[in-house]
Amino acid sequence: MSEGTMIRLEGVEKVYRTTAIETVALTAVNLAVAAGEFISVMGPSGCGKSTLLNLMGLLDAPSAGTIAVNGTPIASYRDKDVAALRNKEIGFIFQSFHLIPDLSIVDNVEIPLLYRPLSARERRERALKALDRVGLSSRVFHFPSQLSGGQQQRVAIARAIVGGPRIVLADEPTGNLDSQMGDEIMALLHGLHENEQATIVMVTHDPQRAEKTQRIVRLFDGRQVH
Amino acid sequence: MLISYLKLAVKVLLRRKLFTAVSLFGISFTLVVLTVVVAMLDHMITPMAPETRIERTLALYQIQLFGPDGRRGRTESGYALVDRYLRDLPGVERLSLVSSRREVSAYAPGGPIICTVRRTDADYWKILDFAFLEGGPFTADDVRNASLVAVISEATRRRFFGDGLASGATIDTDGRRFRVVGVVPNVSQLRPLASGDIWVPHTTEKAEDYRTNIRAGGYWGLFLAHSRADFPRIQEEMLSRLRAVPVAAETQRRFDRIAAYAETPTQTVARVYGGPLFDLRRVEGPPNLRHFFGVLGGLALLFMLLPTVNLVNLNVSRILERASEIGVRKAFGATRRTLVGQFVVENVVLTLVGGLLGLLIAQGVLAAITSSGLIPYAEFRLNWRVFLWGLAIAVFFGLLSGVYPAWRMSRLNPVEALKGGVR
C-alpha cells in the first residue's frame, strides 16, 4: 500500500442476506483514496453509493474483501475496536443532518468528544471553535428545530470536524437543501479540504458539484464503472 | 459525560410527558405498596422502646407435641412448664413469664369497658425497657405477696382518669380492685410482647393451677440472652431439658415427646403471617426464615414484574424512536457499553424520581394508617431503613427495566439505526 493512501478497498463485496433473498449491494470494488483527496461518488439510486460510504466509515462490515484505513487493514469489526477508529479518524455528514433534537447546538457538536478522555471545559471550547468555523457562533444554545436546513447542516459539519478527523464522509450533504444553502455547504467542504488537507468522500447526485471535486467514482448496480 | 447524560435524561423525560407520567405512576405506585409493607414488617421486628433489647431476646409462645403414628399438635406454652424445666438456662441473663393479653371487663367512671390484662413477674420490667410516665413497675416483693398492684398504659389512664394522674389511685377490673403503681406509654398491638392495657403480678391469678399443671397454657417465656451468639446454645439446652418432661403420663399417651422453639421477632412474624402460606404446623422446629422471605421476596418480585415489563415495553418503543440518535452516536465513536450506560442513566434518573415520589406518597399513606387507629397505638414511620429499602428497590427497578432495552438497542446496526431515524 502506498504511503499516501488514506482509504483502500480491495475486492470488497457486500451482500445483504435475509432468509428468503440475497441482495448484492456491492461487487468487486477496488478503490484507493489518497490522503488529502476530495472525491465524489455518483450513480443512480440503489447502486450502492451509501453502502460504499458506510463501509468506508466502518459502520458496516464487508461480506468479502478488505478495507484499510490510514494504512491499517481493519482486522476485526469488534464493536470496541471500530468505535475507537470511527471516533478518532472519521467524521460523518448525513443528508438528513441527524442532529439530536433534545440537545442544544453546542451539545450536539460535542458528541464525538464525549467518547474521548476530555474535560467538560475542553469539550466546550473545541465545540465552540468548530461552530465558529462554520459561522454559527451566535446560535450555540439554540436547538436544531430553531435552525434552517442549511444551518442544521452546518452544525452537522461542525460535529463532523470537531474531533479533527482525517477523513470526512458526506452522504448527499446538499441533498435536502436549496441551491444557495447547498453552495454554502460545498464552500465549507472545499475550505476544509484546502485548509486542513482533509480526505473527503462525498456521495452526490449533482454532477455540477461532483465536477468540482478531484475525482469522480461512478457506481452502477453495485459495480464500479469507468 | 455523566453530566451530559443527566442533562439529556431530564430533557428527554420532560419532552415525553405522557410516557414520563405513566412510568412515574407505575414506579411510585408499586413502591408505595412495597414501602408500606416493609414499614409494617419493620414496625414489627426492629428494636424500639420498650423492646430495646429485642435483638437478644427469644420468646417462647408454643409447645410442639409429637405422638405415635405421626400425630402432631401445638399448644400455648405455660407457666408451670417453663418455670419447672426452663429456668437458669446457660446463656440466659434473665427469664420472664408473661401471659397473653386477656380481655376482661373493668369499671371506668363512664361505665363498664373491655380492656386487656397481662399477668407477669418483676423481671418483665427488667427485660423490657418501659419509660414510665408515672411511678414505676411492681416489684419482686409485690409478686411474691400477690399484691393487688397494677401498671397501666397511657390510654388506660385516659379511660379511667381522664387527664389526671393515676399513681396511687385504684381501678376495678377482673373482679378485683388494683392500686396503680405506674403508667407506661402505649405500645403498638403489633408488638405482642410489650403491648397491653393493664399489667398485674401473675400471683393475682384466681386459680393456682397454672403454677403446678404443666399442661396449662397461657404464659409465654421471655428469655434475655447475654448475646445473640448464645441463641443456639439456649435452644439446644431447652430441647434437652424438655426430654425430662413425663409427656406420655401427662397426655394419656396421646403424645410421647414435646419440643419448644423460642423465636426471634422475625421468626414470630414468619410463623404468624407465613403460617397459612406453608403450613408450619406440620413442620418441627422454628419457622424457616429462608422459606418465608423466599416466598415474600417472590411475591414482591412478581408484584414488581408488572410495572417492570410495562417499563421495558415503553422503553423499547421510546428508545426505538431514538434510533437515529443511536446511529449518530455509534458513527461518532460510542461503543455499545457507553450507549447502555447512557440509557441506563436515563432510566435510573426516571426511577429515582419515581422512587422519591413513591416515598413521599408512602409517607402520607403511613401517616394516614397511623392516624386512622386501624392498628391501635401503631406508629408507622418512613424511617431511614425503609427509605434505603425504597431507594434500593427503585434503583433495582431502574436497572431491571433499563438494561434490557438499552442492551437490545445498543446492538442496532448503525446503518439500520440511522435509517430508522429518517422515518
Query: Where do the domains of chain A lie?
Result: 5-225
Minimal CA–CA distance to A184: which of A147, A217, A112, A135?
Answer: A135
Cα distance between residue B227 and residue B394, in whole Å? 35
Q: Give the residue, B403 or B2, on which the prediction is more confident.
A: B403
Looking at the predicted complex, does its ipTM rise above 0.85? yes
Per-residue DSSP letters for B186-211? ---TT-TTT--SEEEEGGG-S-SGGG
Q: Tell me how far apart the 2 most distant CA atoms of chain B are, in Å.
A: 92
With beta carbons under 8 A apart, name residues in chain B contacting A84: 333
With beta carbons under 8 A apart, name residues in chain A contacting B338: 114-115
Q: Give the chain B residue whose CA is nearest to the CA of A100.
A: B325
- The answer to whether B335 faces chain A, any CB pair under 8 Å, is yes
Cα distance between residue B39 and residue B188, in whole Å? 14
Decide if B345 contacts B9 (C-beta within 8 A).
Answer: yes
Do the Cβ atoms of B335 and A86 come within 8 Å? no
Decide if B235 contacts B194 (C-beta within 8 A).
Answer: no
Query: What is the percent of chain A where pLDDT is above 70?
Result: 99
Nearest by CB to B328, which of A83, A111, A116? A111
Q: How many residues does chain B have?
A: 423
- Grid coordinates representing A194? 484546502
Cα distance between residue B264 and residue B45, in whole Å? 9
Do the Cβ atoms of A88 and B413 come within 8 Å? no
The DSSP letter of residue B302 is H
- Tens of pLDDT, residues A65-103: 999 998 888 877 788 889 999 999 999 999 889 999 988
Do the Cβ atoms of A79 and B15 come within 8 Å? no
Decide if B260 contacts B130 (C-beta within 8 A).
Answer: no
What average pLDDT does this structure show over B84-108?
93
With beta carbons under 8 A apart, name residues in chain A contacting B421: 96, 98
Q: Is the peptide bond before B50 cis (omega within 30 degrees of 0)?
A: yes
Per-residue DSSP letters for chain A? --TTEEEEEEEEEEEEE-SS-EEEEEEEEEEEEETT-EEEEE-STTSSHHHHHHHHTTSS--SEEEEEETTEE-----HHHHHHHHHHHEEEE-TT----TTS-HHHHHHHHHHTSS--HHHHHHHHHHHHHHTT-GGGTTS-GGGS-HHHHHHHHHHHHHTT--SEEEEESTTTTS-HHHHHHHHHHHHHHHHHH--EEEEE-S-HHHHHTSSEEEEEETTEEE-
- Tens of pLDDT, residues B254-312: 898 999 999 999 888 888 887 666 555 566 777 778 888 888 888 888 887 777 787 77
Cα distance between residue B54 and residue B267, in whole Å? 12
- Tens of pLDDT, residues B79-90: 999 999 999 999
Per-residue DSSP letters for B312-362? HHHHHHHHHHTHHHHHHHHHTT--HHHHHHHHHHHHHHHHHHHHHHHHHHH
Cα dihedral B183, B184, B186, B191 in deg (nearest 10): -140
Strand order in the sheet with A72-73: A22-34, A5-17, A64-69, A72-73
The DSSP letter of residue B105 is E
Angle, vertex CA B365, rays to CA B364 and CA B370, nearest 5: 100
Cα distance between residue A30 and residue A67, in whole Å? 10
- Tens of pLDDT, residues B306-359: 777 877 787 777 777 788 888 999 999 999 888 888 888 888 888 888 888 888
- The answer to whether B330 faces chain A, any CB pair under 8 Å, is yes
- The second-level CATH assignment, the architecture, of A5-225 is 3-Layer(aba) Sandwich (3.40)
pLDDT at B220: 96
Decide if A68 contacts A7 (C-beta within 8 A).
Answer: yes
pTM score, two decimals?
Answer: 0.68
Decide if B176 contacts B204 (C-beta within 8 A).
Answer: yes
- Tens of pLDDT, residues B19-61: 788 888 888 888 888 888 888 888 888 888 899 999 999 999 9
Nearest by CB to A100, which of B325, B333, B336? B325
What average pLDDT does this structure show over B62-78?
88
Gap from B22 CA to chain A (nearest CA, Å) = 20
- List, in order, residues 6 or more apart from A2 with CB less than 8 Å away: A32
Nearest by CB to B4, which of A83, A94, A114? A114
Residue B382 CB coordination number (10 Å): 22
pLDDT at B383: 65
Do the Cβ atoms of A59 and B12 come within 8 Å? no
Q: Give the chain B residue whose CA is nearest to the CA of A117.
A: B1
- Tens of pLDDT, residues A25-68: 999 999 999 999 999 999 998 899 999 999 999 999 999 999 99
pLDDT at B69: 83
Residues paired with residue A145 on neighbouring β-strands, in sequence order: none
Cα distance between residue A136 and residue B12, in whole Å? 25
Cα distance between residue A205 and residue B265, in whole Å? 79
Per-residue DSSP letters for B229-271? GGHHHHHHHHHHHHTTS-HHHHTTTS-SEEEE--B-HHHHHHH
With beta carbons under 8 A apart, name residues in chain A contacting B3: 120
Minimal CA–CA distance to A174: which of A96, A92, A91?
Answer: A96
Cα distance between residue B247 and residue B254, in whole Å? 9
Q: Give the residue, B421 or B296, on which the prediction is more confident.
A: B296
Cα distance between residue A140 and residue B1, in whole Å? 19
Q: How far is CA B114 from CA A202, B98, B173, B243, in A?
A: 92, 20, 9, 41
Do the Cβ atoms of A80 and B335 come within 8 Å? yes
The helix (H) or strand (E) run that includes residue B60 is strand B57-60
**Sole residue written with cell 416515598:** B359
Cα distance between residue A89 and residue A112, in whole Å? 11
Decide if B347 contacts B316 (C-beta within 8 A).
Answer: no
Cα distance between residue A221 and residue A76, in whole Å? 28
- The answer to whether B419 faces chain A, any CB pair under 8 Å, is no
